[in-house]
Amino acid sequence: MTPDTIAAQGKNDIAADEKDLLERPVFSFRFQIILGFFTFFILSVVVTVGAMITINQIEKKITTVQTWEQFLFNIEQARRWEKNFFLYGTNLEDALSSTTEAQAILAENLKKFEGSSIPAAKENIKKHLDLYHGKLLQLNQLVKESPDHSIPRADLIENDLRRYGASIVGDAADLTAREHDLLFRWLQLVQRVPAYFLVFLFFLMIYMTRFLSRRFMKPLKYLVNETRRIARGDFTPVQPLRKFRDEFTTVEVAINRMLRELESRQNSLIESHKLRAVGILTAGVAHELNNPINNIMLTAHSMLDEYDDLTKDEQIDMITDIIGETDRSRGIVHNLLDFTRENKATYDAIDLGSLVEETTKLAKNQARVRGIPIKLDVQPGLPPVLGDRQKLKQVFLNLIMNALDAVGQNGLIQVRVRYHKLNYLSVQIEDNGAGIAPDVLPHIFDPFFTTKPVGKGTGLGLSVSRGIINKHRGRIEADSKPGAYTIFNVILPYYPGSANE
Amino acid sequence: MNSPEILLIDDEPIVGQRLRTGLEKMGCKVEVAQDPKDALAKIRGKRFDVVITDIMMPEINGIQVLETVKEANPDTQVIIITGFATSELAREAMEKGAYDMIAKPFKPADLRGMVAKAANEMGFTDIKE
Ligand SMILES: Nc1ncnc2c1ncn2[C@@H]1O[C@H](COP(=O)(O)OP(=O)(O)OP(=O)(O)O)[C@@H](O)[C@H]1O
Ligand SMILES: [Mg+2]
């Protein structure tokens, strides 16, 4: 795959590209945030409702405990009266009424108790209470029947009453204690749950924050890296990071659109700068053409004038000269046309040495007019590079023309093509001209940066060249010592697997 | 009768080859130089009547040749052969005392005419085109 594959794609593919992005299922950040908050809300509702229910239960528990305590109070009261009766013969009526009261409480609340608390014992209590009441009634009957207060088997009755009384009090106290216990546990629960909930909420929030920020930060970081790549001149579309569509997809689509714009603008910039170079070259090439045409003209005229005096060998020599010079003209025209021709951005395996040689030939006339020699030195046996012939020629031409502009009297331009560090070839263009001041050097690749007078330089040469070389996955470096030399180094990867080492 | 000494300088070898015969037929003594450095040496070493030089050659151009000639012998006439993109240079040459100039591509007869005219002006009256 070449970096320009995308550029070479049709418009349809680009539309499909965009469609692919936009047709992914939507899972937006908005939705994710809403989802997060909704989860929080549901959790809070659950905890709040839970707390309300528990508090309601506690309220019920409190009433239950209170009822049991009232019941206990009545029973204990009855037992006190009953004791008084056996000691002093008084208060039997009071004992009876307290018992009835207790029975009423029990009857009224039994249903409620059944529902709300510990089973067991309650039946027992009711049974013993009824028995207790029965014994008291029996006692009351006996008292009424014997006015002298001598009651037969009083001690037996007293024993029964004690037994039942003790059992009721024991059971009821036990129950009350257990209800108390339960109440206490409910209370503890109500106290703890919010604390647990807070802790849980805290961790949930940490998790959510980290999750969401990672969801945000990752694509942001990715896009920042992508813009860096784009700034280096690689206009391959941005690939989406996720399978679904979110707000970043919109950004990605927008960036890809911008990339297409940038690419087409850069191409037209390259094209117009090329045409400008062609304009400059044409004068030189026209001059260059004058030489072979003049040679043809002189030779043809000589033949015409001296035809009869010429030996056969001389005639053949002259015709050979005419053919040779025609060929030379064709070569010159071809070289210019090859550079001028409408370009279809094709990537071929290129012999960098001969490409640079053709380029120097194109510029040679400019150099000749100025009397500046261009020395070319190509290391033999270099592997080919993959590239766009015209664009690469344009780069080297820009660099050579810059060098030509920079040199003065005794100017010399040296062009070297050789191996660079692993997998790379380098084309070095060195001149012994004015050089570039250190404070200017960082700006020379900026678009429209020029130190040349208006009309002479547009300041686009190096910017366009860097764009082209970046597309070839190479780089251009500049090094200069003002007043001594300037070296531009174009480093290009050679065609993978074609190296002969 | 003496014949004019002519030096023809052009880095294109065909130019010298083709013009030489014609000029010799006119009655001139012709020397040809392809390398402008050789040419400069010749100019310094010997007096020529007419020097014909291409204006654009590697390293040394026609202007330098003209200057050297005028230095060595102000009477020598210099004819400049110009190319397409060198009208600036040609103007400079005329200002510096060139006799005439002729633009590539030219007919041999035109150059011969120019040489004959220069020779006549210098007193070689028997030189005819
Ligand atoms: N070989 C060099 N020697 C000295 N300065 C240079 C050299 N090459 C480039 N520069 C400096 O870098 C600037 C930018 O060069 P660039 O090729 O981008 O634009 P330009 O040559 O001014 O205009 P254009 O290329 O459109 O004719 C030049 O104006 C010049 O100051
Ligand atoms: Mg430039």
Under DSSP, is residue A432 helix (H, G, I), strand (E, B) or coil?
coil
Within 8 A of A281 by CB-CB distance, chain B residues are none
Domain positions in chain A are 29-216, 260-493
- Pocket of ligand 1 from Cβ distances under 6 Å: A 398, 402-403, 406, 431, 433-436, 444, 449-452, 457-463, 486
Question: What would the mean pLDDT of A107-131 be, rounded to a whole number?
Answer: 72
Question: Cβ(A81)–Cβ(A92) under 8 Å?
Answer: yes
How deeply is A192 buried, as exposed, middle or buried, from its count of CB atoms within 10 A (0-12, 13-18, 19+)? exposed
Q: What is the C-alpha separation between A8 and A235, in angstroms, rounded?
A: 12
State chain B's mean pLDDT as an integer: 88
Q: Which of residues 86-125 of B touch A (CB under 8 A)?
A: 86, 89, 104-109
Which runs of consecutive H residues, i.e. helices, occur in chain B? 13-26, 36-45, 62-72, 87-95, 108-122
Question: What would the mean pLDDT of A317-323 be, rounded to a whole number?
Answer: 95
Q: Count interface pairs A-B at CB distance under 8 A.
A: 68
Report ipTM for this prediction. 0.93
Across the interface, whether the CB atoms of A294 and B105 are under 8 A apart is answered: yes
- CATH architecture of the region A29-216: Up-down Bundle (1.20)
Q: How far is the CA of A466 from the centre of ligand 1 (A)?
A: 13
User: Which of A47, A95, A316, A289 is closest to A192 using CA atoms?
Assistant: A47
- Number of neighbours of residue A43 by Cβ within 10 angstroms: 14
Residue B128 lies in a domain: no
Mutate: best of B18, B82, B89, partner A, most A CBs <10 A: B18
Pick from A105-114, A213-222, A487-496 the range whose average pLDDT is largest: A487-496
**Residue whose CA is at the smallest distance from ligand 1 atom 31:** A451
Q: How far is the CA of A405 from the centre of ligand 2 (A)?
A: 8
Under DSSP, is residue A338 helix (H, G, I), strand (E, B) or coil?
helix
Q: What is the C-alpha separation between A394 and A275, in angstroms, rounded?
A: 10
Name the domain count of chain B.
1
Tell me the pLDDT band of A374, cut-offs 50, 70 and 90.
very high
Q: pLDDT tens, A439-451?
A: 999 999 988 899 9
Mutate: best of A280, A281, A285, A295, partner B, most B CBs <10 A: A295
Across the interface, whether the CB atoms of B105 and A299 are under 8 A apart is answered: no
Question: Cβ(A257)–Cβ(A21) under 8 Å?
Answer: no
Ligand nearest to the CA of A488: 1
State chain A's mean pLDDT as an integer: 85
pLDDT at B124: 83
Residue B129 lies in a domain: no
Q: pLDDT tens, A26-43?
A: 788 788 888 888 888 998
Q: What is the C-alpha separation between B128 and B117, in angstroms, rounded?
A: 8
Question: Cβ(A489)–Cβ(A426) under 8 Å?
Answer: yes
Question: Cβ(A61)–Cβ(A94) under 8 Å?
Answer: no
CB proximity list for B5: less than 8 A, separation 6 or greater: B28, B29, B31, B46, B47, B48, B49, B50
Question: Cβ(A92)–Cβ(A140) under 8 Å?
Answer: yes
The neighbouring-strand residues paired with A368 are none
pLDDT at A149: 63
Angle at B16 between CA B10 and CA B20, to 5 degrees: 140
Can you give the CATH number for the domain in which B41 is found?
3.40.50.2300
Question: What would the mean pLDDT of A109-126 be, rounded to a whole number?
Answer: 68
Tell me the pLDDT band of A119, cut-offs 50, 70 and 90.
low
With b for 16 or more beta-carbon neighbours within 10 A and e for fewer, the A55-82 pattern comes to eebbebbeebbebbeebbebbbbbbebb
Structural domain harbouring B83:
5-121
pLDDT at A500: 47
Question: What would the mean pLDDT of B75-79 be, rounded to a whole number?
Answer: 93
Ligand nearest to the CA of A273: 1
Which runs of consecutive H residues, i.e. helices, occur in A232-376? 247-306, 312-340, 352-370
Backbone angles phi, psi at A415, to 5 degrees: -115, 125
Question: Cβ(B89)–Cβ(B63) under 8 Å?
Answer: yes
Under DSSP, is residue B54 helix (H, G, I), strand (E, B) or coil?
strand
B56 touches A at CB < 8 Å: yes
Within 8 A of A296 by CB-CB distance, chain B residues are 105
Across the interface, whether the CB atoms of B61 and A371 are under 8 A apart is answered: yes
CATH topology of domain A260-493: Heat Shock Protein 90 (3.30.565)
Residue B25 lies in a domain: yes
Flag whether pLDDT at A5 surpasses 50. Answer: no
